[in-house]
Amino acid sequence: MNQVYSTVPRFSMRLVKEKSIKYPVEAIGDAKQAEIALRAYLHQQDCEHLVVLMLDARNDMIGMSTVTTGGISGLSCAVRDIFKYAIVGRASGIILGHNHPSGDCTPSQEDLNFTSRVKEAGQLLGVPLIDHLIISSGAREGRYSLLEHHLI
């Protein structure tokens, strides 16, 4: 009797360091320090970028990654896309950041709903969402921290 074999792909996963950026803070202790790191990364972007800052247990940044980019009026992302970077990067916590090219850093209802889902997923996975910052640039440069506004 002939045995029938199936094949299954074998995968591996690793982070690849693309490049480094300099930012003038050592640890991310508050929204202002996270803003400095985000601005160093996003300062010349003309469309929305959603970035995850990956932190170790001392809130030192171990990496950052762009999760998705969008147009001038928004972006789309699944919660799982946030945590694949955090888990592979062995993060103890994350800070989300995205820019509003319009200059208005007020969160939309979609921003608030997404943040709530990320917070719940982070609690389940043991990688807590520490804050979600929205930054704007240009003449109306600003920052909105959902943690500072008690929305996390």
Q: Give the model confidence (pLDDT) of 44-53 as tens digits.
A: 777 888 999 9
Place of tokens 């917070």: 119
Give pLDDT tens digits for 56-94.
999 888 888 888 888 656 678 889 989 988 998 899 999
List the beta bridge partners of residue 71: 74
Superfamily of domain 31-145: Cytidine Deaminase, domain 2 (3.40.140.10)
Give me the pLDDT at residue 119, please.
96
Distance (Å) of CA 125 to CA 81, 90, 113, 131: 13, 12, 19, 16
In whole angstroms, how large is the CA radius of gyration of the chain? Answer: 17
Give the contacts of 78 (CB within 8 A, at least 6 positions apart).
none
What is the pLDDT, as a whole number, of residue 115? 94
pLDDT of residue 136: 84
DSSP 16: -
Question: What is the total residue count of the chain?
Answer: 152
Closest CA to 131 of 114, 113, 119: 119
| pTM score | 0.82
